[in-house]
């Protein structure tokens, strides 16, 4: 019993596995990574909180305890958890319809959203439902992230221009921008453009300068370049203080409370649960997909592995801890996780050390952020999210698959025009409908024997041998209710075409992984109708699980023909001497 308890503890608390061998080398790598990620996270967390419509300090709070929770429960050695752009946008979109009248109510609702998201993720982890994320196809995810990046960048233009703009869709944002163009604040615009220019240069050119002129290794140069936003924060904050930019109308962060994150769920309105449960579920799945994708990519580089179901529990714990410490929904971020990885993080303890650094910032550094221009934070967000935009996915999907293009285009268009929830939900629905449509029209090939071999190939693509009395149809799809009737029509039409010479039909089932009850009834109908025509029905290469299912019915007893182990055996047994080339 004790051994079983220890095994369960090691499964659900991965820290018990890597913690036993933790030593000086791991500590050194984790501390260096933590310092770099802390410097990067300070401006990021502030910016993403503003994107979510929350006070700047909420971003810091959401980056402390969640990192500790993930260090305890997570299986990735490099994943850095905290606020991210897409989740922040989805948080703003989820809270906007609530029409909350005060900032404390809005913050409490964000905490409730994190709590619900965490509870959903924990429940999915307990039920081992990591597979649910597979319903979000890559085209849908790519389209959603691209559209979200464009939507986020557009939403931040108001801080660059210094105008009041509202709206959660691209048309709403741009119409409001056009209406307020006459109110653009010149000082704010200059501040925003300078910050944007500097950040774009940092992203594109700083790494090359550090590598070529200072001789730093490329990975180190790239890592240092990624913490460039901290220099933009320092520079524009000093400029705003020295030049008294607030007197010129430049919006600044203002007073950021100093102290520990507030613990508990004070001010929570439990009546908001019905309105938030749907957005929380969608947010949980999107956040999980993004996080696991990053974690798996980084783990593969070091020949490590993650446990997707345990990641659900870890992210659930991170979100619950965020809700209990004044934060909002979090997940694993791509940029900071890559920085964490490149900086040498060896274990999840790097995240815990990062949390300590952010706690120090929350306790002592927040007064220094008073003059930080909001235009700088907006520039930080714009530069970060534009790297996520990949419009080439449209041309690549069009060239490869019209169905996938439809899913990508619909997701991008609806996200931009109708909002994030409708966009991703529609993308998932369209993907599922396209899947049903494609599988309802399976590829069925008539095959013949490749001369001198035991292989069978499509008679329209290869020179093969056939027999006038035998037709073999290879069904390249599992059989279920959506395609059973089509399969029935295809087989009967082929038989009627040569009904005078045909004596045997072989269904080659090498690609059939499932036969549901509707398909079974279709097979029984085919067997009866072929029998009435004097044609025998045979099966070949039936997989074990499918055979087990068929054996539970009367189909095999009523089958007019036989079940062959291989297609070669079937053709050899049934062919006549009058073979012909096709």
Question: Looking at the predicted structure, is the pLDDT value of residue 578 above 60?
Answer: no
User: How many Å from the N-terminal Cα to the C-terminal Cα in the chain?
Assistant: 67
CB neighbours of residue 454 within 10 Å: 12
Show Cβ contacts of residue 2 under 8 Å, excluding neighbours closer than 6 positions.
Answer: none
Question: Looking at the predicted structure, is the pLDDT value of residue 456 above 80?
Answer: yes
Assess contact for 355 and 41: CB atoms under 8 A. Answer: no
Distance CA 393, CA 415 (A): 16
- Collapse the DSSP code of 22 into the 3-class scheme (helix H, G, I; strand E, B; otherwise coil) and give the result: coil
Closest to 29 measured CA to CA, from 223, 294, 300, 227: 223
pLDDT tens-digit series, residues 123-153: 999 988 877 766 677 788 888 888 888 988 8
Give 426-434's long-range contacts (Cβ < 8 A, gap of 24+).
Answer: 427/139, 427/140, 427/143, 427/144, 428/135, 428/136, 428/137, 428/140, 430/140, 430/406, 431/135, 431/137, 431/139, 431/140, 431/407, 432/135, 434/403, 434/404, 434/406, 434/407
pLDDT tens-digit series, residues 340-383: 887 778 888 999 999 999 999 999 888 888 999 999 999 988 88
Pairwise pLDDT comparison (582 vs 44), residue with the higher score: 44
pLDDT tens-digit series, residues 186-217: 999 999 999 999 988 887 776 677 767 777 77
Q: How far is CA 99 from CA 272, 276, 280, in A?
A: 12, 13, 18
At residue 139, the pLDDT reads 80
- What does pLDDT average to over the chain? 87
């Amino acid at each position: 019993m004790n051994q079983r308890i220890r095994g369960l503890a090691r499964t659900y608390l991965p820290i018990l596995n890597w913690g036993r061998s933790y030593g000086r080398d791991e500590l050194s790598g984790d501390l260096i990574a933590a310092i770099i990620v802390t410097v990067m996270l300070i401006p990021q967390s502030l910016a993403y909180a503003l994107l979510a419509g929350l006070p700047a300090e909420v971003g810091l709070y959401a980056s402390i305890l969640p990192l500790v929770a993930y260090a305890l429960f997570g299986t990735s050695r490099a994943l850095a958890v905290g606020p991210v752009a897409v989740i922040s946008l989805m948080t703003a979109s989820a809270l906007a319809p609530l029409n909350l009248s005060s900032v404390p109510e809005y913050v409490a609702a964000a905490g409730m959203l994190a709590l619900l998201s965490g509870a959903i993720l924990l429940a999915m982890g307990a039920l081992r439902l990591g597979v649910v994320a597979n319903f979000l196809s890559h085209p849908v995810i790519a389209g959603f992230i691209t559209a979200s990046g464009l939507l986020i960048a557009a939403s931040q233009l108001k801080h660059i221009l210094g105008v009041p703009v509202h709206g959660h869709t691209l048309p709403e944002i741009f119409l409001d921008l056009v209406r307020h163009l006459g109110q653009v604040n010149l000082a704010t615009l200059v501040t925003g453009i300078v910050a944007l220019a500097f950040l774009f240069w940092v992203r594109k050119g700083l790494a090359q300068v550090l590598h070529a002129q200072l001789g730093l290794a490329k990975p180190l140069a790239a890592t240092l370049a990624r913490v460039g936003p901290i220099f933009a924060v320092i520079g524009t904050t000093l400029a705003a203080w020295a030049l008294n930019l607030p007197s010129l109308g430049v919006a600044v962060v203002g007073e950021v409370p100093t102290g520990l994150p507030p613990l508990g769920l004070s001010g929570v309105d439990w009546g908001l649960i019905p309105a938030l449960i749907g957005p929380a579920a969608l947010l949980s799945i999107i956040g999980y997909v993004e996080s696991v994708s990053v974690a798996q990519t980084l783990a593969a580089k070091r020949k490590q592995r993650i446990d997707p179901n345990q990641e659900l529990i870890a992210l659930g714990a991170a979100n619950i801890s965020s809700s209990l410490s004044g934060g909002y929904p979090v997940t694993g971020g791509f940029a900071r996780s890559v920085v964490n990885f490149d900086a040498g993080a060896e274990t999840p303890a790097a995240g815990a050390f990062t949390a300590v650094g952010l706690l120090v910032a929350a306790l002592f550094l927040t007064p220094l952020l008073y003059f930080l221009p909001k235009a700088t934070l907006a520039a930080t967000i714009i530069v970060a999210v534009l790297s996520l935009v990949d419009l080439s996915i449209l041309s690549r999907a069009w060239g490869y698959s019209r169905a996938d293009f439809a899913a990508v285009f619909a997701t991008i268009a609806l996200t931009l025009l109708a909002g994030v929830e409708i966009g991703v939900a529609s993308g998932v629905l369209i993907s599922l409908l396209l899947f049903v449509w494609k599988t309802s029209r399976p590829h069925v090939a008539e095959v013949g024997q490749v001369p001198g071999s035991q292989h069978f190939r499509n008679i329209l693509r290869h020179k093969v041998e056939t027999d006038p009395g035998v037709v073999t149809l290879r069904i390249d799809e599992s059989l279920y209710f959506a395609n059973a009737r089509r399969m029935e029509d295809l087989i009967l039409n082929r038989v009627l075409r040569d009904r005078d010479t045909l004596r045997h039909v072989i269904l080659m089932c090498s690609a059939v992984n499932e036969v549901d009850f509707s398909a079974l009834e279709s097979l029984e109908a085919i067997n009866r109708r072929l029998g009435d025509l004097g044609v025998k029905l045979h099966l070949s290469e039936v997989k074990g699980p499918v055979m087990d299912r068929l054996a539970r019915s009367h189909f095999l007893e009523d089958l007019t023909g036989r079940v062959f182990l291989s297609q070669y055996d079937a053709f050899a047994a049934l062919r006549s001497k009058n073979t012909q080339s096709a």
